[in-house]
Chains A and B, each alone.
Chain A
Amino acid sequence: MNLKSNDTPNSSTLVDHLFRHEAGKMVSVLTRIFGFEHIEIAEDIVQDTFIKALKEWSYHKIPINPQAWLYRVAKNAAIDIIRKNKYADEYKSELNFLLKSEWTLTNSVDSMFLDSEIKDSQLRMIFTCCYPELPPESQIALTLKTLCGFSVKEISKALLTTESNINKRLFRAKQKIKELKLTFEIPAAREIHNRLEVVHKVIYLIFNEGYNSSSEDMLIRKDLCSEAIRLAEILKESDAGRNTTTYALLALMYLHVSRLDARIDSEGKILLLKEQDRSLWAKDLIEKGLDYLHEASTGDKISEYHLEAGIAAFHASVKSFEETDWKGILRLYDLLIEIAPGSIKNLNRAIVICQIDGPQKAIEELKKIDDLKDYHLYQSTLAEFYFLSGNYESSLEHFEKALKLTESKAEKTLIKRKLEKTREKVTGISQF
């Protein structure tokens, strides 16, 4: 998955990039070798390996195959530790006996770093991090930390909370997993359906953080989206993780992410759907999304992700805002609200109603929602509808409310822009 980034070729940028892409794999493999109760050993080895990389690659040449270099250093560190603790530690992994014999130690560790085994280890890690008894915020934090190469600082920025909170969540989550003595494995066939549901949810939430978050850091947000997609791709490539819902989730993410470059203009301002330059929508990502949607539509199960992907597809497949099939989208929203009710969906549906039946009807629909009064998008949507219906006083009132409800600079700027437009209508004079 290749979202645009500005890489300058120096060793520290390379190390950062590799950390994002390789740390998760390495921690997963090492956790499989040492067992989850020793996950800290795995994390320490990976940490040390990257520190070594940074040091060596700054002073000497960057190796021709950086990934192989990283794996070799990590393997050797693991072998050393296992040798030192041979008689002390029990590694409750499937490899235990093989690790204790010099005949088989090196080859066993080596074999774990083969591509197929790396994929398998990541799959085990995904299911472990998304264990149902953990609270969702912990599942997300643990997944981002162990699988996606996010630092605690980056996670706290992405989830808009403090580093101390994240550290607590991570600690508690790991403790819980150890207490439950979970084995580091892919769930049995009879459990897999339920477990997969949880994994899908976590991936969706991570994607949502990247896509919708108010975080200022665009690079982190892009990375969140990439990582969510990458995790879903890992699922898709395994028998255990592949079902039509996985395809639907992938469809939804690819379709949304295709618009990322068009949503923000060169000055960091948010551009609305109707303002976006659709030539900036990534056609290859849209194609991929539509392909996945097609795959998802086989079989007899439909999930909320199917419907959200369908809605995204309606937008993605027309060249202009004016050509949008709003009635088609409305049908999907109605179905979506039926199978997975939620006020935010009603909010989105009201926006569609506005396109079909006009702002008055839309205002009526919004008024039926009673639990979103403190949500800035609710207030700004209501304000928008009042504006369109000519009721500028009410529009002002709700834009002001919206402004107070968001911390995001970009969102505040957008709302202020709308406030200006509204004030012009009220006073009849344009203000500078």
Chain B
Amino acid sequence: MKDYLFLFRGGSTNGLSPEESQKHMQKWYDWIKKLSDEGKFKAGEPLGSEGKVVSGTKKLVTDGPFAESKEVVGGYLIVQAKDLNEATEIAKGCPTFEMGGSTEVRDIHKM
């Protein structure tokens, strides 16, 4: 079993009514709960929309995060899976796709 990082981009729920937003959040809960019941969920948080970007050798700080909303990382999950294929299959169950979001799947190197 290895750890994989899911990065969720885009898929913003702005513009949804409170009930629709609530229903969407429920889908996130149900999906993660299922992963947890299967022993695959390790950690994860939604990320706030405020942020800073620190870049370059001069460590320039600008307000962030990004110009394009579809690049905004809205949250992450750390999931356990056998291999990258299984992790990717798991990622396909994420509710973010309904909202036009995407999920990046990366394996975590243990040093």
Which A positions have Cβ atoms within 8 angstroms of B? 97-98, 100-104, 107-108
Contacts and interface: CB of A to CB of B under 8 A. Distances in A.
B65 interface: no
Contacts of A104: 28-29, 32-33, 36
Interface of B: 25-26, 28-29, 32-33, 36, 41-46, 75, 77
Contacts of B33: 98, 104, 107-108
A101 B45 contact: yes
Contacts of A100: 43
Contacts of B41: 97-98, 101
Majority-rule SS of A interface residues: helix
A107 B31 CA distance: 12
Contacts, number: 35
A97 B28 contact: no
Given A102-B46, A104-B28, A104-B33, 4 more contacts: A101-B41, A101-B44, A107-B33, A108-B29
5 contacts: A103-B28, A103-B46, A104-B28, A104-B29, A104-B32
Contacts of B46: 102-103
Contact of B45 (A98, A102, A107, A108): A102
Nearest to B26: A107
B77 to A, nearest CB: 8
Contacts of A101: 32, 41, 43-45
A103 B36 CA distance: 12
Contact of A98 (B26, B36, B75, B77): B36
A93 to B, nearest CB: 12
Q: Which of B36, B41, B42, B46 has the most CB of A within 10 A?
A: B36
A97 B29 contact: no
B26 A103 contact: no
Contact of A107 (B29, B42, B43, B44): B29
A384 B41 CA distance: 72
The list of the 6 closest CB pairs from A to B, nearest first, reads A107-B29, A101-B44, A102-B45, A104-B32, A103-B32, A104-B29
